[in-house]
A and B are shown apart, each in its own frame.
Chain A
Amino acid sequence: MAVASEQDNPAGLTREEPRAHSALRRLSGRALSLIASVVLTVFGLLVVTFFIGRVMPVDPLLAVVGDRAPEHVRAQAATELGLDLPLWRQFLRYLGEILQGDFGNSVLSGQPVLTDIARFFPATLELATAATLIGVCLGVPLGVLAATRHGQWPDQVIRVVALAGYSVPVFWLGLVGLLVFYAELGWVAGPGRIDVVYEYTIEPVIGLMLVDTLLAGDGAAFLDAFWHLVLPASVLGYLSLAYITRMTRSLMLAELGQEYVIAARVKGLPERLVIWRHVLGNIMVPLITTIALSYAYLLEGAVLTETVFAWPGLGLYITQSLFSADLTAVLGATIVIGLVFIGLNLLSDLLYTLVDPRAR
């Protein structure tokens, strides 16, 4: 038999140990370059936020001392804030403070910006997570359905639904939602995160209302928080769904003509396995990016939605700070958002290596 002398067994047939070893080395190399890129990105973020803060035509002293302060009070405040130093020293000082976790004090609330953010961010986190869950759980199946029924009526319907999600202004959707489901039908609770009845009885532990009410063992409060969350989460979830559906659909369509899909059908796999195991497994990498991007976008704080629903989240916080020229708060929140963005990108990078063996 000619097989023994055949050349088609490559160098791949070496021993087990060297393979594992080189894989480990590659992995640690990857980790290093990942860390380096994260550090660089964070540095860039700080540079940009600092200079935006300095370039903005807002007098930083105005919010501190008011517009009628005499000159010597202004000068003193400037010295205290380090505004009389050269720009690069100001930046170093800023960098040092940030690295120590000191984002400055909010003029508006008089509290450290980080304390403020710790109070406002969980509301946004809760809303964005719920919305993303809705977006993923409905968006991916809808995208798959549209792609597998390409050109038929389910595809057309889903495309219109997704297009509407893109085009309808979210504040309008929120208002109409409140009008119909809260005011008229009374199916859901109104604006805010929880009824005033529970407002002060629930001890904030991690800031997520659903979790805190459960930790407090208060079932009624949990349900109340849930019904408050449903409508804003659905409105934002629709936005996320529109994006995820469209991306899933086009990714699937590009993949369905691939040879391995034909091979999977030829060997007699049921269509369900062909689609959900083979094709979906291959679009996982771009799909994860899509989901992470949409999640990050929602975590920035959906200003309009939070305003309509009086949802005390990051978007609301930034808007209020901006309107009262509270630059420290705006910059602090911007940095937090930037860090969340970087963190999510890092996470999706790490997930790549899990779902795609070629990236290992």
Chain B
Amino acid sequence: MTTPLLEVSGLRVAFPGQDGPREVVRGISFTVGREKVGIVGESGSGKSMTARAILDLIPPPGRVSADRLAFAGEDLTRLRPKERARLRGRRIAMVLQDPRHALNPVMTVGAQLAETFQVHHRLGRGEARRCSIEALDAVHIRDPERVVRLYPHEISGGMGQRAMIAMMLAPGPELLLADEPTSALDATVEAGILETLDELVTARGMGLVLVSHDLDLVAAFCDRVLVFYAGRIVEELPARDLAQARHPYTQGLLACVPRLGERRRELPVLRRDPSWAAS
């Protein structure tokens, strides 16, 4: 097998707490190739922190350590912060959860897209603007010439997330992390966004890590699934086998998903066992 895009081994993220440092990611190892990997788990299981640690965006006083953190064979832990920063956008990018907060409210959509082109491709203003319009067109936003002139509060959440995807793909990254890219949006919009994401990622031969708490979505969309629990990976399995998961936690998660047309009074309470997260 060739070198995977992303190799993570023994990744830990800790924040200082009242009684010593508190680990929110506790020794996680996985690899991502040019494929679609889903990360599922409850809130607080360390999904987003893992994504941010890969990008070196854990805010202080958080601390990140890893036995190995490599991108395309290059050891990221040995790079200086400036060099880590240079990988962002150009090689690894991330789609954030809520476009209402993740787009700058005082800049037009076009300006935010254009600056990305200007910084990464050293384009002039007019050229960057043309590329922005093309990029919006590529994520299936209708009338992109008009949308570039709008501010984030003037467009819908779905359009915002499409603009966000266009913005994050603009530098031409090889790996895209998507941190719950549709959970802030209407369910009707979700499918379209994911379809666009899939289309672009596949066309460019990129790797994609989709962080989500939606099991059905991950099962349908991804190749492989990592199940997070309390800062650890408790199970890793092909997405199509998710329904046959062996780990009691994954089974518990699956049992908690309500089905349409199902006659059931109460959803079961998720079973948790601290020993699952023990090493």
Contact = CB atoms under 8 A, between A and B. Distances in A.
Contact of A358 (B87, B146, B151, B168): B151
Interface stretch (A6-14, A181-189, A231-239): A6-14
A10 B171 contact: no
Given A266-B57, A271-B85, A7 B188 contact: yes
Contacts of B157: 8
Interface in A126-181: 151
Contacts of A13: 142-143, 146
B96 A263 contact: yes
Interface residues of B, number: 57
Contacts of B88: 265-268
A266 B106 contact: no
A145 B159 CA distance: 35
A273 B119 contact: yes
Given A2-B195, A3-B195, A269-B115, A281 B89 contact: no
B115 A2 contact: no
Interface stretch (A219-227, A252-260, A310-318, A341-349): A252-260
A281 B93 contact: no
Of A7, A9, A257, A267, the most chain B CB neighbours within 10 A belong to A267
Nearest to B149: A16
B104 A264 contact: yes
A355 B106 contact: yes
Contact of B96 (A9, A16, A262, A273): A262
Nearest to A269: B119
A1 interface: yes
B159 A8 contact: yes
B94 interface: yes
Nearest to A357: B151
Nearest to B192: A6
Contacts of B141: 9
Contacts, number: 134
B174 interface: no
B104 A8 contact: no
A284 interface: yes
Of A258, A269, A278, A356, the most chain B CB neighbours within 10 A belong to A269
A7 B192 CA distance: 9
B158 interface: yes
B94 A268 contact: no
A289 interface: no
A334 interface: no
A281 B107 contact: yes
Given A3-B140, A267-B116, A267-B170, A8 B106 contact: no
Given A9-B159, A269-B115, A358-B105, A2 B191 contact: yes
Of A278, A281, A357, the most chain B CB neighbours within 10 A belong to A357
B156 interface: yes
A290 interface: no
Interface in B188-213: 188-189, 191-193, 195-196
Interface of A: 1-3, 6-10, 12-13, 16, 151, 257-260, 262-271, 273, 277-278, 281-282, 284, 355-358
16 contacts: A7-B158, A7-B186, A13-B143, A259-B98, A260-B103, A263-B103, A265-B88, A266-B96, A268-B85, A268-B119, A269-B89, A273-B115, A355-B106, A356-B105, A357-B105, A358-B106
